Amino acid sequence: MPEQDYFQRGFGLKAAIQGTLARDYHSALVDRIREAGSTVRAGDLTILLAREFGFCYGVDRAVEYAYETVEKFPDRRVYLTGEIIHNPRVNERLHGMGIGFLSSDGRLGDLPDGLSADDVVILPAFGVPAPALARLKERGCVLVDTTCGSVLNVWKNVERYAREGLTSIIHGKYDHEETRATVSRAQVYEGGRYLIVRDMRQADLVCGYISGAARDGFSRAQFLEEFRKASSPGLDPDAHLDRIGVANQTTMLSSESLEIARRLRAALVARHGEAGIDARFRSFDTICSATQDRQDAVTRLVEEGVDLLVIIGGYNSSNTNHLASLGGRSVPTYHIDSAACILDSESIRHKPYGSAEEILVRGWLPGGPTRVGITAGASTPNVMIGEVIEAVLRCRGAVSPI
């Protein structure tokens, strides 16, 4: 498609939209707390804000480009392929600005008949599968690509694996928009293959099959059924797992991704020996730096000593869920999607890690001296973080002293 119909670097309209962005997403309270050392005290309540939280560069860029797109094309229909990021308020705000959504989950099956070269389509931070991108280009739509650079880095590695004949093993969630886009890049070359492992349990099943240690108890038929939705068509575990390349969804738990890669390499060594392993195994740590920074910041909060953690972010946000998983290993942790979940000092609605449903919990905020750690996933704007801090303070009848 013509270069002028495909945009990846915005439109230079940041000054025109800056005021609107600040009104929609920034928080003066959060700024003040950061300037005060990320700690605020009100009576016997202490709130500790994580050192790294909220919007990452890729999310900030994607949202900014969406606002610029509306400013650039005021007389055209503007669409998103699906959610731009996993945050309900942000997506609702974009919808309120007149941006339409071509799908609810980014799958982009059948495009609307009326979609044409007169329309503008924004590609989300997760990216879109290669076949969907090709269909959009065929329609001649103006495309504004906000795909995160960290995601593009994963694609580059996966495409190289496919080009060299390796099967890509991806640590991720097979139904996540980013992973769906990534596996499509594993098939850009004829014969390209992939297998998605969600967690350590599935990784160990694959390792056992590769090494031969578990084949008696985990048959080929069981393998194919386990990964029926998470593997490329025609994947043969007996033939296609001798040469593999490992990558990951950028928002997974870093320590788990690294351990999965280590175990997969060990499985290949157990089966074939150390000699020639470099030809059989490739691995690149493709967890994005912002994801790692936010995970490290949660660990630091726990080490500093908190009585509980409040994690803010969309319930379908992978990186936010992993923050909740990390915190929940050490202290009571409450993953909420907004300040509205904090009902009062006694009751809170939250989604436990690993659960699909929100639950109501009582007695979440102890009386007496209490240290509350607060952080947020990479798709949560500062304004929502500020609202949660204010809600926690209100539970003790306090306002921010700074």
Per-residue pLDDT tens over the stretch 204-233: 999 999 998 766 678 999 999 999 999 999
**How far apart are the C-alpha atoms of 293 and 304, rounded to whole Å?**
16
Question: Nearest-CA neighbor of 73 among 128, 138, 143, 132?
Answer: 143
pLDDT reported for residue 104? 80
Q: Is the model more confident about 338 or about 4?
A: 338
Q: Are 298 and 323 in contact, with CB atoms under 8 Å apart?
A: yes
pLDDT reported for residue 107? 80
pLDDT reported for residue 292? 92
pLDDT reported for residue 217? 75
pLDDT reported for residue 3? 54
Q: Report whether pLDDT(390) > 60.
A: yes
Angle of helix 254-272 versus helix 200-211 axis, rounded to 10: 10
Q: Report whether pLDDT(11) > 90.
A: yes
pLDDT in tens, 105-129: 778 878 888 999 999 999 999 999 9
pLDDT in tens, 192-203: 999 999 999 999
Annotated active-site residue 178? The verdict is yes
Beta-strand pair 39-42/45-49: antiparallel
State the chain's mean pLDDT as an integer: 94
Question: Nearest-CA neighbor of 260 among 284, 279, 234, 288?
Answer: 284
Q: Report whether pLDDT(260) > 70.
A: yes
Other C-beta atoms lying within 10 Å of the C-beta of residue 272: 17
Other C-beta atoms lying within 10 Å of the C-beta of residue 289: 12
Regarding pTM above 0.85, the answer is yes
pLDDT reported for residue 364? 98
pLDDT band for position 274 (cuts 50, 70, 90): very high
Lowest-pLDDT choice from 63-67, 254-258, 259-263, 359-363: 254-258
Task: Determine the average pLDDT of the residues in 307-335.
Answer: 97
What would the DSSP string read from start to end of 301-340? HHHH--SEEEEES-TT-HHHHHHHHHHHTTS-EEEESSGG
Q: Report whether pLDDT(28) > 60.
A: yes
Q: Are 348 and 334 in contact, with CB atoms under 8 Å apart?
A: yes
pLDDT reported for residue 215? 63
Q: Are 292 and 326 in contact, with CB atoms under 8 Å apart?
A: no
pLDDT reported for residue 218? 86
Q: What percent of the chain has pLDDT over 70?
A: 98
Domains delineated in the chain? 21-56+289-395 (3.40.1010.20), 58-148 (3.40.50.11270), 150-283 (3.40.1010.20)
Catalytic residue, chosen from 83, 178, 226, 387, is 178
pLDDT reported for residue 213? 72
Q: Are 124 and 146 in contact, with CB atoms under 8 Å apart?
A: yes
**How far apart are the C-alpha atoms of 55 and 389, rounded to whole Å?**
17
Q: What percent of the chain has pLDDT over 90?
A: 90
Q: Report whether pLDDT(180) > 60.
A: yes
pLDDT reported for residue 401? 78
Task: Determine the average pLDDT of the residues in 29-38.
Answer: 96
Amino acid letter, residue 243: R
pLDDT in tens, 298-310: 999 999 999 999 9
Q: Report whether pLDDT(4) > 90.
A: no
